[in-house]
Amino acid sequence: MEKREFKEKVYSELASLTKALAHPFRLQIIDLLAQGSRSVEEIAAQVDISIANASQHLQVMKGANLVSIQKEGHYVHYRLADERVYTVWQSLRELGIDRLAQIERTLKDFREEKNSFQSLSIDQLLEKISEEGVVILDVRPEKEFKAGHIPQALSVPMEKLAQKIADLPAGKEVVVYCRGPFCVFADEAVGLLTGQGIRAIRLEEGFPDWKSRNLPFQTIS
Amino acid sequence: MEKREFKEKVYSELASLTKALAHPFRLQIIDLLAQGSRSVEEIAAQVDISIANASQHLQVMKGANLVSIQKEGHYVHYRLADERVYTVWQSLRELGIDRLAQIERTLKDFREEKNSFQSLSIDQLLEKISEEGVVILDVRPEKEFKAGHIPQALSVPMEKLAQKIADLPAGKEVVVYCRGPFCVFADEAVGLLTGQGIRAIRLEEGFPDWKSRNLPFQTIS
DNA sequence: CAATTATTCAATAAAGTTATTGAATATATT
DNA sequence: AATATATTCAATAACTTTATTGAATAATTG
C-alpha cells in the first residue's frame, strides 16, 4: 500500500465518522440516547422531526457505527454504540461552549431570560455536598431518573415541579440538574424556584456527565 | 427565546463546528498543525493538495474558530486555535481506531507490509523507560524535533536513518515515534531497523499526544 | 516603481446531503 | 387471514460542499 493511499483511507474513514456526527438533529439524538435507549418514535418526538426523517438520520449514525440497534417486537431500540461516542460529543461541546462566541451568547441570553444567571460545575457540586447540606433536584422525566440519578437527588419531573414546591425541605439551597448543558428543564426549574423566593442554581452538566466521570449513581428498577 | 429556537441555535452552531472538522484533508491539517504553526504553502505540500485548495480548507477551519492566523511578511502562519481542538481529534481517532473495522484493517495491513507488527502505548513506554534502558528515536523532520520532543530521544529524521543506523547504541531495544498514530515514518523506520537485525517497535501515539498528557518534554532553540 | 511571491477570491461544474413524500416491509394483534 | 403499527425504503427537489481554474490582492525585493 502506498503512503498516500494509506493516509487517504484512514483520514477518509475518520472524516466519514465525523460527518455522521455533524448535524444538529444527530447531536440532539446523541444527547437523548445518552439517557438510555429509545425507539425511533420516541426519538422523533423528542427531537421534533418526522419519523421518516429520524429514521434516516439514525441510519446515517448506524452506518458510522455511532449507534446500535436492538429489535423488540416491531420496535427498534437505538442506543449509543460506545461510551466514547459521548466522550467525543463532550469534548466538542466544551470546545464550542468556550470558543464560539455565538453559543456562549445564546446560552447566556436564554438563561438570563429564565432568571437562571449562574451555574455550578460537577466539581463545585461535589464540594457543596461534602460541606453544606444541599437539596439536589432531578427534573428529568421519571423514566430517566429511574435509569440512573445522582445519589440523594429527588425526582421532580419538570411538569410536576409547580405543585411540589411546597414539599421541598425549607431554607436549603437547591441545585437542579437535567440531561446536560443544553437541557432547558433545569433553567426553567431555576426560574420557577427563584420566582418563589427559593435559592436555586442549575448544574452546568447533566447526569450523563456525572456518570461518565465514574461518580457513584443510583438506579430504581 | 423559545425552547425550540434555543435548541436549534445551539445544536446548529455545534454541528457547524463539527462539519468544519469533517473532511479528510482538514483532519490531516490538524495533525500537522499539532506539530506547530505552518504557512499555507507548507500545509499544501504536506497534505499534497493545491495551494488554493489548502487555503480554502483553512478558511473553513478559521471560520469555525479551529485555527487562528499570524501574518508575517507575505506569509500567513496557521496554528490550532485551542489545545482542545487536538483533544477532540484524539477522542474521534480513538473511537474510530477501536470501532471502525475498516480503519483497524488498514492500519494492520499497512504495518504488516512494513514489518511493524506491534506497537507500544505511551504508558508502556513510560514503564520501559523506568525499568530497562531503551533507545528512543524521533524520526520526524528536525524542525519538529526542535519544537519539542520526548526527553532523551535522539533525532534521526527518516531520510537520514539509513546512514545513521551504525551510530545507534548497540544491543538495546529501539522505540520509534513520529507525529501520531497515522504518521508512517515510524513504521518505515521500524521496517528498516528490523531488516538490519535491530529490535525496534513503534510508539502508537506521537509527540503531540505525549505533550497533551502533560509529560515533560525538551525543546531546542 | 516594476517584478516577484504568498495567499485569497470568484466563478463554475460535479458530487454529496437533506427533508418530504408516499409506498413497502415486517411484526403483532384481532 | 386481515388489520394495525413501527420502521424503512425509494424518489425527488432544494441546498451545500468541493476541486479546479485563473484573476486579484498585498507584501517584499530588485
Same domain membership, residue B196 and residue B107: yes
Q: Residues with Cβ < 8 Å from A141, sequence gap 6 or more?
A: A157
Q: The domain that contains B58 carries what CATH number?
A: 1.10.10.10
A49 touches strand C (CB under 7 A): yes
What is the predicted pLDDT for the residue at B167?
87
The predicted-structure confidence for A37-82, as pLDDT tens digits, reads as follows 999 999 999 999 999 999 999 999 999 999 999 999 889 999 999 9
Number of domains comprising chain A: 2
Last residue of a domain, one of A32, A56, A85: A85
Q: Which nucleotides of D are covered by protein (CB under 7 A)?
A: 4-10, 17-23, 26-29
Same domain membership, residue B203 and residue B112: yes
What is the predicted pLDDT for the residue at A169?
84
The predicted-structure confidence for B79-95, as pLDDT tens digits, reads as follows 999 999 999 999 999 99
Please indicate, yes or no, if residue A167 is contained in any of the structural domains: yes
The predicted-structure confidence for A137-153, as pLDDT tens digits, reads as follows 999 999 999 999 999 99
- Find the Å distance, CA of residue A90 to C1' of nucleotide D10: 36
What is the predicted pLDDT for the residue at B217?
96
- Find the Å distance, CA of residue A79 to C1' of nucleotide C30: 32
Beta strands in A12-91 (DSSP E): 38-39, 67-72, 75-80
Please indicate, yes or no, if residue A160 is contained in any of the structural domains: yes
What is the predicted pLDDT for the residue at A118?
87
Same domain membership, residue A81 and residue A162: no
With contact defined as beta carbons under 8 Å apart, do A107 and A186 qualify? no
A164 or A61: which leads in pLDDT: A61
C-alpha cell at B43: 500545509
B22 touches strand D (CB under 7 A): yes
Same domain membership, residue B149 and residue B70: no
B74 touches strand C (CB under 7 A): yes
Last residue of a domain, one of A52, A85, A118: A85
Q: Residues with Cβ < 8 Å from A32, sequence gap 6 or more?
A: A38, A43, A46, A47, A179
SS3 B219: coil
Using the predicted structure, report yes or no on whether residue A175 has a pLDDT greater than 90: yes
Same domain membership, residue B79 and residue B41: yes
What is the predicted pLDDT for the residue at A114?
87
N-terminal to C-terminal alpha carbon distance within chain B: 53
Question: What would the mean pLDDT of A193-205 be, rounded to a whole number?
Answer: 92
With contact defined as beta carbons under 8 Å apart, do A188 and A158 qualify? yes
What is the predicted pLDDT for the residue at B170?
78
| Nearest-5° Cα angle at A49, A48 to A50 | 135
B187 lies in which domain range?
Answer: 101-212
What is the predicted pLDDT for the residue at B171?
81
Q: The domain that contains B116 carries what CATH number?
A: 3.40.250.10
What is the predicted pLDDT for the residue at A150?
97
Please indicate, yes or no, if residue B90 is contained in any of the structural domains: no
What is the predicted pLDDT for the residue at B39?
97
Question: What would the mean pLDDT of A162-181 be, rounded to a whole number?
Answer: 90
- Of all helices (H) and strands (E), which one includes residue A201? strand A200-203
Please indicate, yes or no, if residue A219 is contained in any of the structural domains: no
Of the CA atoms within 13 Å of residue B164, those in its CB half-sphere come to: 13
Same domain membership, residue B80 and residue B109: no
CA distances from A76 to A30, A43, A106, A177 (A): 16, 11, 35, 29
Please indicate, yes or no, if residue B173 is contained in any of the structural domains: yes
Please indicate, yes or no, if residue A139 is contained in any of the structural domains: yes
Last residue of a domain, one of A85, A116, A145: A85
Please indicate, yes or no, if residue A90 is contained in any of the structural domains: no
The predicted-structure confidence for B1-38, as pLDDT tens digits, reads as follows 888 889 999 999 999 999 999 999 999 999 999 999 99
Question: What would the mean pLDDT of A4-23 be, rounded to a whole number?
Answer: 95
Same domain membership, residue B116 and residue B49: no
User: Residue A17 and residue B96: Cβ atoms within 8 Å?
Assistant: yes
Please indicate, yes or no, if residue A91 is contained in any of the structural domains: no
Residues of chain A contacting B32 with CB distance shorter than 8 Å: none
Going by pLDDT thresholds of 50, 70 and 90, the confidence category of residue A172 is confident
User: Residue A19 and residue B19: Cβ atoms within 8 Å?
Assistant: yes
Same domain membership, residue B79 and residue B152: no
Taking the C-alpha atoms of residue A170 and residue A180, their distance in angstroms, rounded to an integer, is 27
Q: How far B49 CA sits from the closest chain A CA (Å)?
A: 12
User: Residue A18 and residue B7: Cβ atoms within 8 Å?
Assistant: no
What is the predicted pLDDT for the residue at B76?
96
Same domain membership, residue B58 and residue B105: no
How many CB atoms are closer than 10 A to CB B32?
21
Same domain membership, residue B193 and residue B109: yes
Residues of B classed as catalytic:
178
The predicted-structure confidence for A89-137, as pLDDT tens digits, reads as follows 999 999 999 999 889 999 999 999 988 888 999 999 999 988 877 999 9
What is the predicted pLDDT for the residue at B114?
87
Q: What parts of chain B have a pLDDT lower than 70? A: none
Using the predicted structure, report yes or no on whether residue A25 has a pLDDT greater than 90: yes
With contact defined as beta carbons under 8 Å apart, do B67 and B81 qualify? yes
- Of all helices (H) and strands (E), which one includes residue B100? none
**Mean pLDDT of all residues in chain A?**
94
Same domain membership, residue A203 and residue A159: yes
What is the predicted pLDDT for the residue at A130?
85
Same domain membership, residue B199 and residue B118: yes
A40 touches strand D (CB under 7 A): yes
